[in-house]
Structure 1
Amino acid sequence: MARRRKKKLPVDPVRAEIESLSHEGRGVAHIDGKATFIDNALPGEEVMFIYTSKRKAFDQGVAVEIIKASADRVEPGCVHFGLCGGCSLQHMSSEAQLAHKQSALIDQFHHIAKLEIDEVLPPLTTELWGYRRKARLGVRFVIKKDKLLVGFRERNGGYLADMDSCEVLHESVGHHIKDLQTLIRSMEAYQSIAQIEVAVGDELTTLVFRNLVELGDDDQGKLITFAKQFNVQVWLQPGNSSTAYPLWPTDSRLHYAMPEYDVELDFLPTDFTQVNYGMNHQMVARAIELLDLQPEHNVLDLFCGIGNFSLPLTRKTRKVTAIEGSEALVARA
């Protein structure tokens, strides 16, 4: 049976009025009665867009010209916004983003859980930039471009974005994407580094290089030189996460403190920790406040990890029973 030919997409831009915003942050319009989801478009705007895909139930596109802008539109803070898939709402003010996400959450409760939300607490907020302390960066050498890429995937597709910085990542990494590209490209095994795991503590940044082959002394030396120059710790991971080990320095440890509870938590770069530490502090405080804990209370914390909630809770209650499936995480807690 012959394969059905894929229809060509219209080339010329199309005018659209944006009616609303989808849950994932795309503008929604109807073109000839058909729902069309448009990136880089906000409610109330008039835009010119081009199609990126056409399907039976809906179409997709991206705005290439803003004819009438929304009052909520702002200039994106990152030059790679629109290409990089790490962020989707930088063109929208932070206040409008919060309102949209709150509305989407309430809508999900209504449609999925059949619950009506009568009261919504004030949202927790923190820094807009440089807050992300955990990430996984892809690494790929593109032969056609003769360029080594380090970063997140493109918004629409499986390719890595061609980027040299990230304003959302902690500055110890986000401002050095280009330096990482230069480092890996200089290595003999540059095509055998698959990804970089990023973990940032209060006093240390660790980069875990996933190496598909054993690295020679020269390549390891380049990694150590990079670590010294940019004041980071370098690990190697030849297999799954359990094979990761520190290359240099070998005696440094990641940790973050919660001084308000007299708690300091050690963790490995491959452990799960909260991405946003500023938000984490507020989240723990809000949970403790809402629980209205008393000294005689007993608390059960399921999937406690390294004790992010459990250990602060011990300062407020008689007893905390924490359950975790990973023995290694329990040992570090």
Structure 2
Amino acid sequence: MSRRPRKKIFSDIPTPATIASFTHDGRGVAHINGKAVFIDEALPGEEVEFIYTDSRKDFAEGKVVTLLTQAPERVQAPGPHYGVCGGCSFQHVHVEAQIQIKQTLLCEQFKRIGKIDVPPLWEPLVGEHWGYRRKARMGVKYVAKKDRVLVGFRERRNPFLAEIDSCAVMHPIVGERLIALGEMIKRLTIRDKIPQIEVAIGDEKCVLAVRVLEPPTLEDKAIMRAFAQAH
């Protein structure tokens, strides 16, 4: 029988770092002893103290414990679940700076991976800063101990579903109805046989494709139809 790998234990003594760059998933990059360290919610130009959360041969990961200096692009993340829910990773950056950062990252990918010299770009097309996400794959989990169905996204760097009641990034037709959606699923006989929901939202229609591990009963189908008509 194979043994489970031991969980790594890291020191809780903070390490100082200067953030040199940014990744596509919202982490700052520092270089310590020749190794890249990816640090959650750190921005380029900031001086931080962080603790390690993982370390491998070629890179390490960490999280900020103290901001020694603060980048001008930093804002207080407005989402109540930000930092726990892994559905988004840029809320600590001003919305206008987010556009510029993402454009810069895209151009860097073209140069580094595609070996393409990027020509001058047009002004980016932007929409609403909140409630803009129209496609998503949301996890579903019936928690028997709480007699509750969780609907949403995984925790940041964790396989468990985050316990959230709304999502400000999702279009409000879904983002503001996570609790109602979970309560509807709890009424189903297959409440513990639904692992995920695919969301697709158009200008006039919203489609939820519910993945099931067992066929729903006629009563289950009636409950889902009633929910769709009511919302």
TM-score class, shorter: 0.7 to 0.9
**What is aligned with 1:148?**
149
> Could you tell me how far 1:145 is from its partner in structure 2?
5.4
> Could you tell me how far 1:174 is from its partner in structure 2?
0.4
Residues 165, 178 of structure 2: 8 Å contact kept: yes
Task: Assess, with a 3 A threshold, how the Cα gap between structure 1 residues 225 and 10 changes in structure 2: closer, same or farther.
Answer: same
Cα distance in 2 between the residues matched to 1:90 and 1:183 = 30
Aligned-partner residue type, residue 106 of structure 1: C
> Could you tell me how far 1:143 is from its partner in structure 2?
4.5
Structure 1 stretches of 4+ with a deviation exceeding 6 A read 1-4
Task: Assess, with a 3 A threshold, how the Cα gap between structure 1 residues 108 and 197 changes in structure 2: closer, same or farther.
Answer: closer
**What is aligned with 1:61?**
62
Aligned residues: 230
Cα deviation 1:226-282 (Å, max 9, x = unaligned): 22322xxxxxxxxxxxxxxxxxxxxxxxxxxxxxxxxxxxxxxxxxxxxxxxxxxxx
Larger radius of gyration: 1
**What is aligned with 2:195?**
194
Cα distance in 2 between the residues matched to 1:197 and 1:6 = 33
Written as runs of structure 1 = structure 2, the 5 A alignment for 1:115-126 is 115-126=116-127
**What is aligned with 2:185?**
184
Counterpart secondary structure, 1:190: coil
**What is aligned with 2:53?**
52
Cα distance in 2 between the residues matched to 1:160 and 1:26 = 21
Cα deviation 1:53-78 (Å, max 9, x = unaligned): 11111110122333322110112232
TM-score, normalization: structure 1? 0.63
Aligned Cα root-mean-square deviation (Å) = 2.3
Percent identity of paired positions between Structure 1 and Structure 2? 47
Cα deviation 1:121-162 (Å, max 9, x = unaligned): 211111111112222211112356554211122220222222
> Could you tell me how far 1:41 is from its partner in structure 2?
0.7
Cα distance in 1 between the residues matched to 2:5 and 2:199 = 44
**What is aligned with 2:86?**
85
Answer yes or no: is 1:174 the counterpart of 2:175.
yes
Task: Assess, with a 3 A threshold, how the Cα gap between structure 1 residues 146 and 66 changes in structure 2: closer, same or farther.
Answer: farther
Answer yes or no: is 1:211 the counterpart of 2:215.
no
Cα distance in 2 between the residues matched to 1:205 and 1:2 = 47
Written as runs of structure 1 = structure 2, the 5 A alignment for 1:205-244 is 205-230=206-231
Cα distance in 2 between the residues matched to 1:207 and 1:118 = 40
Cα distance in 1 between the residues matched to 2:94 and 2:77 = 9
Cα deviation 1:270-300 (Å, max 9, x = unaligned): xxxxxxxxxxxxxxxxxxxxxxxxxxxxxxx
> Could you tell me how far 1:97 is from its partner in structure 2?
1.7
Query: Which deviates more, 52-61 or 144-153?
Result: 144-153
Cα distance in 2 between the residues matched to 1:28 and 1:75 = 20
Cα distance in 2 between the residues matched to 1:147 and 1:48 = 38
Higher relative contact order (CA 8 A, sep 6+): 2
**What is aligned with 1:130?**
131
Counterpart secondary structure, 1:193: coil
Cα distance in 2 between the residues matched to 1:119 and 1:80 = 37
Counterpart secondary structure, 2:113: helix
Aligned-partner residue type, residue 220 of structure 2: D
**What is aligned with 1:273?**
none
Answer yes or no: is 1:15 the counterpart of 2:38.
no
Structure 1 residue runs without a partner (length 5+): 231-333
Aligned-partner residue type, residue 225 of structure 1: A
Task: Assess, with a 3 A threshold, how the Cα gap between structure 1 residues 176 and 10 changes in structure 2: closer, same or farther.
Answer: same
**What is aligned with 1:258?**
none
**What is aligned with 2:109?**
108
